[in-house]
Protein backbone atom coordinates (compact mmCIF):
# COMPACT_ATOMS: atom_id res chain seq x y z
CA UNK A 1 0.00 0.00 0.00
CA UNK A 2 1.27 3.44 -0.87
CA UNK A 3 1.44 6.19 1.77
CA UNK A 4 -1.82 8.10 2.28
CA UNK A 5 0.14 11.35 2.34
CA UNK A 6 1.23 10.88 -1.26
CA UNK A 7 -2.32 10.11 -2.40
CA UNK A 8 -3.75 13.18 -0.60
CA UNK A 9 -1.00 15.38 -2.04
CA UNK A 10 -1.83 14.13 -5.53
CA UNK A 11 -5.53 14.85 -5.00
CA UNK A 12 -4.69 18.39 -3.91
CA UNK A 13 -2.52 18.95 -7.00
CA UNK A 14 -5.21 17.56 -9.31
CA UNK A 15 -7.86 19.78 -7.77
CA UNK A 16 -5.59 22.81 -8.18
CA UNK A 17 -4.93 21.93 -11.82
CA UNK A 18 -8.66 21.52 -12.41
CA UNK A 19 -9.40 24.95 -10.94
CA UNK A 20 -6.58 26.46 -13.03
CA UNK A 21 -8.02 24.89 -16.17
CA UNK A 22 -11.39 26.41 -15.42
CA UNK A 23 -9.81 29.81 -14.81
CA UNK A 24 -8.08 29.62 -18.19
CA UNK A 25 -11.29 28.62 -19.94
CA UNK A 26 -10.17 25.06 -20.75
CA UNK A 27 -13.30 23.06 -21.58
CA UNK A 28 -13.41 19.49 -20.34
CA UNK A 29 -16.62 17.57 -20.85
CA UNK A 30 -17.24 17.54 -17.12
CA UNK A 31 -15.82 20.91 -16.23
CA UNK A 32 -18.05 23.85 -17.26
CA UNK A 33 -20.20 25.00 -14.37
CA UNK A 34 -22.99 25.91 -16.79
CA UNK A 35 -23.19 22.26 -17.83
CA UNK A 36 -23.30 20.62 -14.42
CA UNK A 37 -26.22 21.92 -12.39
CA UNK A 38 -26.10 21.22 -8.69
CA UNK A 39 -28.59 18.80 -7.22
CA UNK A 40 -30.28 19.13 -3.86
CA UNK A 41 -28.13 17.61 -1.13
CA UNK A 42 -29.67 14.64 0.60
CA UNK A 43 -29.66 13.89 4.30
CA UNK A 44 -28.42 10.35 4.20
CA UNK A 45 -28.82 10.03 7.97
CA UNK A 46 -32.56 10.63 8.10
CA UNK A 47 -33.35 6.94 8.13
CA UNK A 48 -34.55 6.82 4.54
CA UNK A 49 -31.17 5.97 3.00
CA UNK A 50 -29.03 2.84 3.10
CA UNK A 51 -25.29 2.77 2.42
CA UNK A 52 -24.52 0.57 -0.57
CA UNK A 53 -22.03 -2.21 0.10
CA UNK A 54 -19.48 -3.79 -2.18
CA UNK A 55 -21.56 -6.95 -2.27
CA UNK A 56 -23.87 -5.28 -4.79
CA UNK A 57 -26.23 -7.76 -6.39
CA UNK A 58 -30.03 -7.41 -6.51
CA UNK A 59 -31.76 -4.29 -5.18
CA UNK A 60 -35.52 -4.69 -4.95
CA UNK A 61 -36.42 -1.27 -3.57
CA UNK A 62 -35.28 1.67 -1.44
CA UNK A 63 -32.89 4.61 -1.42
CA UNK A 64 -29.15 3.91 -1.48
CA UNK A 65 -26.03 6.06 -1.34
CA UNK A 66 -22.25 5.74 -1.43
CA UNK A 67 -20.39 6.75 1.69
CA UNK A 68 -17.02 6.17 -0.01
CA UNK A 69 -15.57 5.03 -3.32
CA UNK A 70 -16.80 1.50 -3.86
CA UNK A 71 -15.75 -1.42 -6.07
CA UNK A 72 -18.49 -4.03 -6.49
CA UNK A 73 -17.94 -7.75 -6.19
CA UNK A 74 -21.27 -8.29 -7.97
CA UNK A 75 -22.83 -5.84 -10.36
CA UNK A 76 -26.19 -4.32 -9.42
CA UNK A 77 -29.55 -5.59 -10.61
CA UNK A 78 -32.55 -3.30 -10.09
CA UNK A 79 -35.85 -5.07 -9.56
CA UNK A 80 -38.20 -2.53 -8.02
CA UNK A 81 -38.24 1.18 -7.13
CA UNK A 82 -34.63 2.15 -6.42
CA UNK A 83 -32.78 5.47 -6.06
CA UNK A 84 -29.00 5.61 -5.90
CA UNK A 85 -27.15 8.79 -4.85
CA UNK A 86 -23.49 8.61 -5.78
CA UNK A 87 -22.78 11.24 -3.12
CA UNK A 88 -19.66 12.40 -4.95
CA UNK A 89 -17.96 9.00 -4.92
CA UNK A 90 -16.90 6.46 -7.55
CA UNK A 91 -18.84 3.25 -8.10
CA UNK A 92 -16.70 0.74 -9.99
CA UNK A 93 -18.24 -2.34 -11.56
CA UNK A 94 -16.79 -5.82 -11.73
CA UNK A 95 -15.59 -5.29 -15.27
CA UNK A 96 -17.40 -8.32 -16.59
CA UNK A 97 -20.93 -7.03 -17.29
CA UNK A 98 -23.16 -3.97 -17.04
CA UNK A 99 -22.50 -2.13 -13.80
CA UNK A 100 -26.26 -1.72 -13.31
CA UNK A 101 -29.07 -3.68 -14.98
CA UNK A 102 -32.62 -2.36 -14.74
CA UNK A 103 -35.08 -5.22 -15.13
CA UNK A 104 -38.54 -5.02 -16.69
CA UNK A 105 -41.09 -3.02 -14.65
CA UNK A 106 -38.31 -1.67 -12.42
CA UNK A 107 -37.70 2.06 -11.90
CA UNK A 108 -34.17 3.26 -11.23
CA UNK A 109 -33.15 6.84 -10.42
CA UNK A 110 -29.50 7.95 -10.42
CA UNK A 111 -28.53 11.19 -8.70
CA UNK A 112 -25.54 12.88 -7.10
CA UNK A 113 -25.75 15.54 -4.40
CA UNK A 114 -22.04 16.44 -4.57
CA UNK A 115 -21.77 17.56 -8.20
CA UNK A 116 -20.26 20.92 -7.22
CA UNK A 117 -18.27 19.84 -4.20
CA UNK A 118 -14.80 21.27 -3.65
CA UNK A 119 -13.79 18.49 -1.26
CA UNK A 120 -10.75 16.51 -2.37
CA UNK A 121 -12.61 13.21 -1.94
CA UNK A 122 -15.09 14.31 -4.63
CA UNK A 123 -12.43 15.18 -7.23
CA UNK A 124 -11.72 12.19 -9.45
CA UNK A 125 -8.72 12.30 -11.76
CA UNK A 126 -8.62 10.33 -14.99
CA UNK A 127 -6.57 9.88 -18.13
CA UNK A 128 -7.75 8.76 -21.55
CA UNK A 129 -6.36 5.42 -22.70
CA UNK A 130 -5.67 4.26 -26.24
CA UNK A 131 -9.29 3.12 -26.63
CA UNK A 132 -10.64 6.54 -25.69
CA UNK A 133 -11.86 5.36 -22.28
CA UNK A 134 -11.55 7.42 -19.13
CA UNK A 135 -9.40 5.53 -16.64
CA UNK A 136 -9.86 6.63 -13.03
CA UNK A 137 -7.41 6.55 -10.18
CA UNK A 138 -7.44 3.07 -8.69
CA UNK A 139 -4.75 3.71 -6.09
CA UNK A 140 -2.00 1.82 -7.91
CA UNK A 141 1.48 2.86 -9.00
CA UNK A 142 0.59 1.74 -12.49
CA UNK A 143 -2.20 4.33 -12.70
CA UNK A 144 0.16 7.07 -11.43
CA UNK A 145 2.70 6.18 -14.11
CA UNK A 146 0.11 6.14 -16.91
CA UNK A 147 -1.39 9.41 -15.70
CA UNK A 148 1.99 11.13 -15.58
CA UNK A 149 2.79 9.94 -19.11
CA UNK A 150 -0.52 11.17 -20.59
CA UNK A 151 -0.59 14.43 -22.50
CA UNK A 152 -2.30 17.37 -20.81
CA UNK A 153 -5.29 17.21 -23.15
CA UNK A 154 -5.68 13.50 -22.38
CA UNK A 155 -6.39 13.84 -18.70
CA UNK A 156 -8.70 15.73 -16.42
CA UNK A 157 -10.78 15.71 -13.27
CA UNK A 158 -14.45 14.92 -12.79
CA UNK A 159 -16.20 16.59 -9.88
CA UNK A 160 -18.87 14.50 -8.16
CA UNK A 161 -20.07 10.93 -8.39
CA UNK A 162 -18.94 8.50 -11.10
CA UNK A 163 -20.04 5.10 -12.39
CA UNK A 164 -17.20 3.29 -14.17
CA UNK A 165 -15.51 -0.05 -14.71
CA UNK A 166 -18.09 -1.88 -16.77
CA UNK A 167 -16.86 -3.94 -19.70
CA UNK A 168 -19.15 -6.26 -21.58
CA UNK A 169 -19.27 -7.91 -24.96
CA UNK A 170 -23.05 -7.48 -24.79
CA UNK A 171 -25.00 -4.21 -24.58
CA UNK A 172 -24.97 -1.59 -21.84
CA UNK A 173 -21.62 -1.05 -20.18
CA UNK A 174 -22.79 1.39 -17.53
CA UNK A 175 -26.55 0.96 -17.23
CA UNK A 176 -28.60 -1.60 -19.12
CA UNK A 177 -32.35 -0.92 -19.26
CA UNK A 178 -34.31 -3.98 -20.30
CA UNK A 179 -37.79 -4.13 -21.85
CA UNK A 180 -40.32 -2.48 -19.55
CA UNK A 181 -37.62 -0.93 -17.36
CA UNK A 182 -37.27 2.76 -16.58
CA UNK A 183 -34.08 4.71 -15.83
CA UNK A 184 -33.99 8.37 -14.79
CA UNK A 185 -30.66 10.17 -14.54
CA UNK A 186 -30.47 13.55 -12.87
CA UNK A 187 -26.85 13.57 -11.77
CA UNK A 188 -23.54 11.77 -11.68
CA UNK A 189 -21.19 10.76 -14.48
CA UNK A 190 -21.10 7.48 -16.40
CA UNK A 191 -17.60 7.19 -17.84
CA UNK A 192 -14.77 4.84 -18.76
CA UNK A 193 -16.97 1.93 -19.85
CA UNK A 194 -17.05 -0.23 -22.96
CA UNK A 195 -19.69 -2.47 -24.54
CA UNK A 196 -20.83 -3.76 -27.90
CA UNK A 197 -23.82 -1.43 -27.86
CA UNK A 198 -24.27 1.51 -25.50
CA UNK A 199 -20.97 2.13 -23.73
CA UNK A 200 -22.73 4.40 -21.26
CA UNK A 201 -26.38 3.32 -21.40
CA UNK A 202 -28.33 0.71 -23.34
CA UNK A 203 -32.11 1.10 -23.69
CA UNK A 204 -33.40 -2.13 -25.19
CA UNK A 205 -36.78 -3.61 -25.83
CA UNK A 206 -40.41 -2.61 -25.81
CA UNK A 207 -41.29 0.08 -23.25
CA UNK A 208 -37.69 0.43 -22.08
CA UNK A 209 -37.22 4.11 -21.20
CA UNK A 210 -34.30 6.35 -20.27
CA UNK A 211 -34.81 9.98 -19.25
CA UNK A 212 -31.77 12.21 -18.74
CA UNK A 213 -32.29 15.55 -16.99
CA UNK A 214 -28.79 15.99 -15.60
CA UNK A 215 -25.40 14.38 -15.17
CA UNK A 216 -22.83 13.43 -17.78
CA UNK A 217 -22.11 10.47 -20.06
CA UNK A 218 -18.55 10.70 -21.38
CA UNK A 219 -15.38 8.78 -22.08
CA UNK A 220 -17.14 5.57 -23.07
CA UNK A 221 -16.76 3.32 -26.13
CA UNK A 222 -18.93 0.89 -28.09
CA UNK A 223 -19.40 -0.48 -31.57
CA UNK A 224 -22.81 1.27 -31.70
CA UNK A 225 -23.81 4.14 -29.48
CA UNK A 226 -20.71 5.12 -27.55
CA UNK A 227 -22.81 7.19 -25.18
CA UNK A 228 -26.31 5.74 -25.52
CA UNK A 229 -27.68 2.90 -27.65
CA UNK A 230 -31.45 2.85 -28.11
CA UNK A 231 -32.74 -0.47 -29.41
CA UNK A 232 -36.54 -0.48 -29.75
CA UNK A 233 -36.71 1.69 -26.64
CA UNK A 234 -37.05 5.39 -25.87
CA UNK A 235 -34.44 7.94 -24.77
CA UNK A 236 -35.58 11.39 -23.71
CA UNK A 237 -32.91 14.02 -23.01
CA UNK A 238 -34.01 17.22 -21.26
CA UNK A 239 -30.70 18.13 -19.64
CA UNK A 240 -27.23 16.90 -18.76
CA UNK A 241 -24.24 16.37 -21.04
CA UNK A 242 -23.24 13.69 -23.52
CA UNK A 243 -19.82 14.00 -25.11
CA UNK A 244 -16.37 12.54 -25.54
CA UNK A 245 -17.67 9.04 -26.33
CA UNK A 246 -16.69 6.98 -29.37
CA UNK A 247 -18.28 4.35 -31.59
CA UNK A 248 -18.31 3.13 -35.17
CA UNK A 249 -21.92 4.29 -35.40
CA UNK A 250 -23.34 7.06 -33.23
CA UNK A 251 -20.51 8.18 -30.99
CA UNK A 252 -23.04 10.08 -28.93
CA UNK A 253 -26.37 8.34 -29.57
CA UNK A 254 -27.42 5.51 -31.86
CA UNK A 255 -31.10 4.67 -32.43
CA UNK A 256 -31.74 1.24 -33.90
CA UNK A 257 -35.11 -0.14 -34.95
CA UNK A 258 -38.37 1.35 -36.15
CA UNK A 259 -39.76 1.74 -32.62
CA UNK A 260 -36.65 3.38 -31.22
CA UNK A 261 -36.92 7.07 -30.33
CA UNK A 262 -34.46 9.74 -29.25
CA UNK A 263 -36.00 13.08 -28.33
CA UNK A 264 -33.90 15.99 -27.12
CA UNK A 265 -35.28 19.23 -25.72
CA UNK A 266 -32.35 20.34 -23.59
CA UNK A 267 -28.84 19.56 -22.44
CA UNK A 268 -25.40 19.68 -24.02
CA UNK A 269 -24.24 17.32 -26.74
CA UNK A 270 -20.94 16.44 -28.33
CA UNK A 271 -20.35 13.60 -30.76
CA UNK A 272 -22.38 12.06 -33.55
CA UNK A 273 -26.04 11.11 -33.73
CA UNK A 274 -26.94 8.16 -35.94
CA UNK A 275 -30.07 6.18 -36.72
CA UNK A 276 -30.97 2.94 -38.42
CA UNK A 277 -34.74 3.08 -38.59
CA UNK A 278 -35.07 4.97 -35.32
CA UNK A 279 -36.92 8.24 -34.85
CA UNK A 280 -34.92 11.30 -33.79
CA UNK A 281 -36.49 14.62 -32.85
CA UNK A 282 -34.48 17.56 -31.50
CA UNK A 283 -36.36 20.62 -30.28
CA UNK A 284 -33.73 22.14 -27.97
CA UNK A 285 -30.25 21.80 -26.54
CA UNK A 286 -26.70 22.93 -27.19
CA UNK A 287 -24.12 21.32 -29.44
CA UNK A 288 -20.35 21.29 -29.70
CA UNK A 289 -18.89 23.02 -32.74
CA UNK A 290 -17.90 19.79 -34.47
CA UNK A 291 -21.32 18.17 -34.11
CA UNK A 292 -23.20 17.73 -37.38
CA UNK A 293 -26.93 17.80 -36.73
CA UNK A 294 -28.87 16.45 -39.69
CA UNK A 295 -31.73 18.80 -40.54
CA UNK A 296 -34.08 15.82 -40.67
CA UNK A 297 -33.52 15.35 -36.93
CA UNK A 298 -34.88 18.81 -36.09
CA UNK A 299 -38.42 19.00 -34.79
CA UNK A 300 -40.99 20.97 -36.78
CA UNK A 301 -40.44 24.70 -36.49
CA UNK A 302 -36.93 24.31 -35.04
CA UNK A 303 -33.58 25.42 -36.43
CA UNK A 304 -29.94 24.97 -35.45
CA UNK A 305 -28.27 28.34 -34.84
CA UNK A 306 -24.71 29.40 -34.17
CA UNK A 307 -24.85 31.60 -31.09
CA UNK A 308 -22.66 33.79 -28.92
CA UNK A 309 -22.93 35.00 -25.37
CA UNK A 310 -24.34 38.28 -26.68
CA UNK A 311 -27.61 36.51 -27.48
CA UNK A 312 -28.37 36.48 -23.77
CA UNK A 313 -29.11 32.78 -23.28
CA UNK A 314 -28.43 32.07 -19.61
CA UNK A 315 -27.47 28.48 -20.50
CA UNK A 316 -24.89 29.49 -23.09
CA UNK A 317 -21.56 27.68 -22.84
CA UNK A 318 -18.62 28.50 -25.08
CA UNK A 319 -17.89 24.80 -25.59
CA UNK A 320 -21.31 24.33 -27.20
CA UNK A 321 -21.74 27.30 -29.58
CA UNK A 322 -24.67 25.87 -31.52
CA UNK A 323 -28.21 25.72 -30.20
CA UNK A 324 -31.55 24.44 -31.38
CA UNK A 325 -34.40 26.87 -30.85
CA UNK A 326 -37.87 27.20 -32.17
CA UNK A 327 -37.89 29.65 -35.04
CA UNK A 328 -39.90 32.79 -34.48
CA UNK A 329 -40.58 35.89 -36.51
CA UNK A 330 -41.79 39.39 -35.80
CA UNK A 331 -43.49 41.91 -38.02
CA UNK A 332 -41.48 44.76 -39.47
CA UNK A 333 -43.45 47.82 -40.48
CA UNK A 334 -42.25 50.62 -42.74
CA UNK A 335 -43.15 54.03 -41.32
CA UNK A 336 -43.06 55.69 -44.74
CA UNK A 337 -42.44 54.59 -48.34
CA UNK A 338 -42.85 57.81 -50.36
CA UNK A 339 -40.08 60.39 -50.24
CA UNK A 340 -38.72 63.40 -52.08
CA UNK A 341 -35.04 63.50 -52.85
CA UNK A 342 -33.02 65.28 -50.18
CA UNK A 343 -29.49 64.07 -50.72
CA UNK A 344 -29.60 62.16 -47.42
CA UNK A 345 -29.85 58.42 -46.72
CA UNK A 346 -31.75 58.56 -43.44
CA UNK A 347 -35.26 59.12 -44.72
CA UNK A 348 -36.47 55.49 -44.64
CA UNK A 349 -37.29 53.94 -41.28
CA UNK A 350 -39.00 50.76 -40.11
CA UNK A 351 -39.83 49.33 -36.72
CA UNK A 352 -39.97 45.75 -35.40
CA UNK A 353 -42.58 44.44 -33.00
CA UNK A 354 -39.98 43.46 -30.39
CA UNK A 355 -38.08 46.76 -30.65
CA UNK A 356 -35.13 44.96 -32.22
CA UNK A 357 -32.47 46.93 -34.01
CA UNK A 358 -32.92 46.87 -37.77
CA UNK A 359 -30.24 46.88 -40.43
CA UNK A 360 -30.92 47.98 -44.01
CA UNK A 361 -29.62 47.25 -47.47
CA UNK A 362 -30.94 48.38 -50.85
CA UNK A 363 -31.02 47.44 -54.50
CA UNK A 364 -32.55 48.65 -57.74
CA UNK A 365 -33.70 45.06 -58.37
CA UNK A 366 -35.73 42.87 -56.03
CA UNK A 367 -33.34 39.97 -56.58
CA UNK A 368 -30.35 42.15 -55.73
CA UNK A 369 -27.49 42.44 -55.31
CA UNK A 370 -28.09 44.50 -52.17
CA UNK A 371 -25.77 47.17 -50.79
CA UNK A 372 -25.59 47.92 -47.07
CA UNK A 373 -27.25 51.15 -46.05
CA UNK A 374 -30.01 53.21 -47.65
CA UNK A 375 -30.20 54.81 -51.09
CA UNK A 376 -29.61 58.53 -51.59
CA UNK A 377 -30.60 58.92 -55.24
CA UNK A 378 -34.07 59.40 -56.64
CA UNK A 379 -35.80 56.37 -58.11
CA UNK A 380 -37.62 53.15 -57.20
CA UNK A 381 -35.70 51.12 -54.63
CA UNK A 382 -36.02 47.78 -52.86
CA UNK A 383 -35.15 48.04 -49.17
CA UNK A 384 -34.28 44.87 -47.25
CA UNK A 385 -34.92 45.35 -43.54
CA UNK A 386 -33.47 42.70 -41.22
CA UNK A 387 -34.34 42.71 -37.53
CA UNK A 388 -31.59 41.83 -35.06
CA UNK A 389 -31.91 38.26 -33.76
CA UNK A 390 -33.46 37.99 -30.32
CA UNK A 391 -33.93 35.13 -27.90
CA UNK A 392 -37.47 35.09 -26.57
CA UNK A 393 -38.27 32.73 -23.71
CA UNK A 394 -41.88 31.82 -23.07
CA UNK A 395 -43.92 28.99 -21.60
CA UNK A 396 -43.79 27.39 -25.02
CA UNK A 397 -39.99 27.26 -25.09
CA UNK A 398 -37.09 29.28 -26.43
CA UNK A 399 -37.60 31.11 -29.69
CA UNK A 400 -34.84 32.50 -31.87
CA UNK A 401 -36.70 35.44 -33.30
CA UNK A 402 -35.64 36.98 -36.58
CA UNK A 403 -37.38 38.95 -39.29
CA UNK A 404 -36.67 40.08 -42.82
CA UNK A 405 -38.91 42.15 -45.05
CA UNK A 406 -38.43 43.81 -48.43
CA UNK A 407 -40.13 47.13 -48.99
CA UNK A 408 -40.51 49.12 -52.20
CA UNK A 409 -39.94 52.84 -51.79
CA UNK A 410 -40.11 55.78 -54.16
CA UNK A 411 -37.74 58.69 -53.91
CA UNK A 412 -39.14 61.36 -56.18
CA UNK A 413 -36.82 63.81 -57.94
CA UNK A 414 -37.08 67.49 -57.04
CA UNK A 415 -38.99 69.76 -59.39
CA UNK A 416 -36.70 72.73 -60.07
CA UNK A 417 -38.25 76.19 -60.30
CA UNK A 418 -36.88 79.26 -62.05
CA UNK A 419 -37.50 82.15 -59.70
CA UNK A 420 -36.22 84.82 -62.07
CA UNK A 421 -34.21 85.18 -65.28
CA UNK A 422 -32.89 88.03 -67.41
CA UNK A 423 -32.10 87.39 -71.08
CA UNK A 424 -29.95 89.63 -73.25
CA UNK A 425 -29.64 89.69 -77.04
CA UNK A 426 -26.07 89.71 -78.22
CA UNK A 427 -24.36 89.56 -81.59
CA UNK A 428 -24.03 85.83 -81.15
CA UNK A 429 -27.63 85.32 -80.14
CA UNK A 430 -28.99 85.30 -76.60
CA UNK A 431 -27.53 84.85 -73.14
CA UNK A 432 -28.82 84.77 -69.59
CA UNK A 433 -27.41 87.67 -67.64
CA UNK A 434 -29.02 86.41 -64.48
CA UNK A 435 -30.88 83.25 -63.50
CA UNK A 436 -32.18 82.17 -60.08
CA UNK A 437 -33.26 78.55 -59.63
CA UNK A 438 -34.53 76.96 -56.39
CA UNK A 439 -34.44 73.26 -55.46
CA UNK A 440 -30.85 72.12 -56.03
CA UNK A 441 -29.41 70.49 -52.91
CA UNK A 442 -26.26 72.13 -51.66
CA UNK A 443 -23.06 70.56 -53.02
CA UNK A 444 -24.93 68.47 -55.60
CA UNK A 445 -23.27 68.22 -59.01
CA UNK A 446 -26.22 69.34 -61.12
CA UNK A 447 -26.21 72.28 -63.56
CA UNK A 448 -29.19 73.85 -65.33
CA UNK A 449 -28.43 74.82 -68.94
CA UNK A 450 -30.80 77.26 -70.71
CA UNK A 451 -31.63 77.22 -74.45
CA UNK A 452 -33.23 80.21 -76.23
CA UNK A 453 -35.88 80.42 -78.92
CA UNK A 454 -37.04 83.87 -80.20
CA UNK A 455 -40.77 84.27 -80.59
CA UNK A 456 -42.66 86.43 -83.09
CA UNK A 457 -44.08 88.61 -80.34
CA UNK A 458 -40.63 89.79 -79.34
CA UNK A 459 -40.20 87.53 -76.40
CA UNK A 460 -37.78 84.64 -76.00
CA UNK A 461 -38.79 81.14 -74.91
CA UNK A 462 -36.20 79.64 -72.56
CA UNK A 463 -36.11 75.85 -72.14
CA UNK A 464 -33.82 74.00 -69.77
CA UNK A 465 -31.75 70.85 -69.61
CA UNK A 466 -29.68 69.28 -66.83
CA UNK A 467 -26.07 68.21 -66.68
CA UNK A 468 -23.92 66.62 -63.98
CA UNK A 469 -23.75 63.33 -62.05
CA UNK A 470 -26.74 64.26 -59.90
CA UNK A 471 -29.00 65.35 -62.74
CA UNK A 472 -31.24 62.29 -62.27
CA UNK A 473 -32.37 63.63 -58.92
CA UNK A 474 -34.11 66.64 -60.50
CA UNK A 475 -36.86 67.55 -62.91
CA UNK A 476 -36.01 70.38 -65.30
CA UNK A 477 -37.82 73.69 -64.73
CA UNK A 478 -40.81 74.60 -66.85
CA UNK A 479 -40.01 76.88 -69.83
CA UNK A 480 -39.70 80.62 -69.20
CA UNK A 481 -41.00 83.41 -71.46
CA UNK A 482 -39.03 86.61 -71.11
CA UNK A 483 -38.74 90.03 -72.74
CA UNK A 484 -35.39 90.68 -74.38
CA UNK A 485 -32.99 93.17 -72.85
CA UNK A 486 -30.63 94.57 -75.51
CA UNK A 487 -26.95 94.76 -74.76
CA UNK A 488 -26.29 98.59 -74.60
CA UNK A 489 -22.71 98.40 -75.87
CA UNK A 490 -23.80 96.28 -78.79
CA UNK A 491 -26.63 98.72 -79.61
CA UNK A 492 -24.26 101.74 -79.80
CA UNK A 493 -21.93 99.79 -82.06
CA UNK A 494 -24.87 98.94 -84.34
CA UNK A 495 -25.92 102.62 -84.55
CA UNK A 496 -22.40 103.76 -85.36
CA UNK A 497 -22.09 101.18 -88.10
CA UNK A 498 -25.45 102.27 -89.51
CA UNK A 499 -24.48 105.99 -89.56
CA UNK A 500 -21.19 105.19 -91.18
CA UNK A 501 -22.90 103.35 -93.96
CA UNK A 502 -25.26 106.26 -94.58
CA UNK A 503 -22.68 109.15 -94.56
CA UNK A 504 -21.47 110.52 -97.98
CA UNK A 505 -17.92 109.79 -99.12
Cis amide bond preceding 369, omega within 30? yes
C-alpha pair distances (Å), 306 with each of 134, 290, 313, 324: 30, 12, 12, 9
Rg (CA), the chain: 40
For the stretch 324-382, pLDDT in tens is 999 888 889 999 999 999 988 767 899 987 778 899 999 999 999 999 999 999 999 99
> Is residue 32 predicted with pLDDT exceeding 50?
no
For the stretch 159-210, pLDDT in tens is 999 999 988 889 999 999 999 999 999 999 999 999 999 999 999 999 999 9
Buried b (16+ CB within 10 A) or exposed e, 107-118: bbbbbbbbbbbe
CB atoms within 10 A of CB 159: 23
Question: What does pTM read for this prediction?
Answer: 0.73
> Is residue 9 predicted with pLDDT exceeding 70?
no
Amino acid sequence: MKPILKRNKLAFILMALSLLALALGVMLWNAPAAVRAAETEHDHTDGNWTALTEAGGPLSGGNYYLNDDLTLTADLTIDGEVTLCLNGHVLTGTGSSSVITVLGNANFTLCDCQSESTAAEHQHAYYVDDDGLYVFDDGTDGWDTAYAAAETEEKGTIVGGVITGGKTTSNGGGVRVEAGGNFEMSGGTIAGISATGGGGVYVGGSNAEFTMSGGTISGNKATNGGGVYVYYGAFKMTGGTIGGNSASMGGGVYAMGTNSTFTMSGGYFGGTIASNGGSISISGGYFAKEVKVDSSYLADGCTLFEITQDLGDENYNAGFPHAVYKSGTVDITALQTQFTYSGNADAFEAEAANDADISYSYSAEEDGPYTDGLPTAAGTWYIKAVAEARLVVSDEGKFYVTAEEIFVIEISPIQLVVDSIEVTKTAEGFSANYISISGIVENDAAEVIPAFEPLTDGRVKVTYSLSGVDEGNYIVPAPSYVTITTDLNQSIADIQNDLKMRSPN
